[in-house]
Each structure stands twice: as structure tokens, then as C-alpha cells.
Amino acid sequence: MAELQKSNKVFGGWNRRYAHKSEELGCTMNFSVFFPPAAESQKVPVVYFLSGLTCTDENVMTKSGIQRKAAEEGVAIIAPDTSPRGLNIPGESDSWDFGVGAGFYLNATQPTWKNWRMYDYITKELPSVLEKFEELDLSNAAIMGHSMGGHGALTLGLRNPQLYKSISAFSPICNPTQVPWGQKAFSGYLGDNQEEWKQYDATELVKAYNGPPRSILIDVGTKDDFLEKQLKPESFAKAAASQGGSSIKLQLRMQEDYDHSYFFISTFVADHLAHHANALKATS
């Protein structure tokens, strides 16, 4: 059972933050939901937003202005947290890119990090909690994210096409097995078997994708400090192009002079919600 923590009216709808006891993660987790005005009279489709390193469920809700376009399109926004919190695992807060705030949307296999099961939390447990909200049509969902959350959106979306009708990402970590952020996280959470890492690498996943057609929108700023060393969008684009057939329709936009920040996200977030609304309304 999710308990309401706070509620704010915005763009005619309601931004609400909840807490619940997660059996999957073994701790209390927060998540935020924006209910558009349309939710007062009908079930509405949902878009999951996965946040990046060091972020919580509140970053996108307070910094991006995502609610304006969501209200216009009549879609709900669901923003989960980025990792377990409050478990006091030794070393969990030693670095900003591993441990607390850095769940990487995977299921850890190393004993120390056994509670870091954000993949199952997002795809299974959180939807089961959200089923209690009669306003939400969870069968009509899309997924998007930023940075580490962009990695999450791509990997969860590609692995679970039955759950998400469309995918988008801002500044995603596209090829984590080949970059420092991903290598640090994967070796720590998953161990040394690099074949195991590939199940959480979007570039590897898109090569083998054989699901229903999916439209993917990716925006990356040309002045993003992490572009060359950590993000590798060109690797994902190359893999998507070589995938064959017409299953993946990728639109990769390099946005001149934009960086990695929420200034960048807020500029293009309406485009992303329009992208998702088109897919969700086509199947509603």
C-alpha cells in the first residue's frame, strides 16, 4: 500500500509523492506521479521517467516542467527513485556513481548488493503497487529517462516490448559495457563475467532485437561533458542501423550547444511526450 506524502496542483492536474515498503528492495521507496486533469474522468496512459545518477523521483517533477505537456496530452508521469535507500550497506555512499542513487536499473547478483534489484522493481513491483490507482491505464505505457535513466529506458524498453509502447532518452549511457560508468557499476553489481553485462547494454540488446516495431527518440547535447567518454550514442545508432528489417525506428538528434543538464531536458521534454502520446493513443 502506497502512502501519500504530499500533493501539489500543477497545470490543472496533481503532482503526488508516495512512499511504500518494497519487498523487492527491502526498504521504503518513494515514487512520484503526475495525474493530468483527464485522470479525473477517465483512465489515462502512463509514461515512466527514469532518472540519472544521484537523482531521486523528484528531480524531473521539480526541474523539467514535464507536467505542462503531460496535462495537454492527457498522460500520467510516473517517476520512481534510482536505488534502494536506508539499508546502510558498507560502501553504499562512498562514490556518487555507485551505490545509493546509482541503481543502474539492473538486478545485482553480487551478495553485498543483493537488494539492488531496480530492474525487477521497475518492471514488476512498482506496476503492482500502481494497480491500486484506478486512474492509470498501466496496460498502455511508455518509458523514457535521462543519462543512467536513459540507459534504463532503452534496456527495459528493448527487453520488455510487451510493457512499453515507445521509448525515448535524454543523454543515455548507450553502451555501458564499453564506458567507465558502466564498467564500474556492472563489475560491482554483476561480477567479472562480462557476458552477463550484455543483458543490460542497449547497444548489445538492439543488435538482437526481434520484437514488435518500436520507435525510439534520443536527444543528446553536443556540449555534453560526458558525450565522448560515457554516452556513446553513435554505437547505439550503428547497432540499430545494422539490426535489419524495420523493427527499430531510431531518431537520434544531436542538439547544438546543449549540455547534460535539466535546462536541456526542459527544452525538449515536450517533444518526447508528443512522441510517446502518438504511440499510446495509437493503441488506446
Is the pTM value of this prediction over 0.95? Answer: yes
Q: Which fold has domain 3-282?
A: Rossmann fold (3.40.50)
- Residues catalogued as catalytic: 147, 224, 260
Looking at the DSSP assignment, which residues form a beta bridge with residue 217? 168, 251
Going across the sheet that includes 13-22, the strands are 3-10, 13-22, 27-35, 76-80, 44-50, 136-146, 167-170, 214-221, 248-255
> What is the band of 1 on the pLDDT scale with cuts at 50, 70, 90?
confident
Query: Angle at the Cα of 125 (from 119 to 130), degrees rounded to 5?
Result: 125
Q: Note the Cα 96 to chain centre separation in Å.
A: 18
Compute, in degrees rounded to 10, the torsion defined by CA atoms 30, 35, 41, 47. -90
Q: Dig out the grid coordinates for 206 from the structure.
A: 538492439
Q: Give the model confidence (pLDDT) of 41-55 as tens digits.
A: 999 999 999 999 999
Parse the chain into domains and list their residue ranges.
Answer: 3-282
In 51-120, beta strands by DSSP E: 76-80
Give the whole-angstrom CA distance, residue 99 versus residue 52: 13
Q: Give the model confidence (pLDDT) of 145-197 as tens digits.
A: 999 999 999 999 999 999 999 999 999 999 999 999 999 999 999 999 999 99
The answer to whether 50 and 80 are in contact (CB under 8 A) is yes
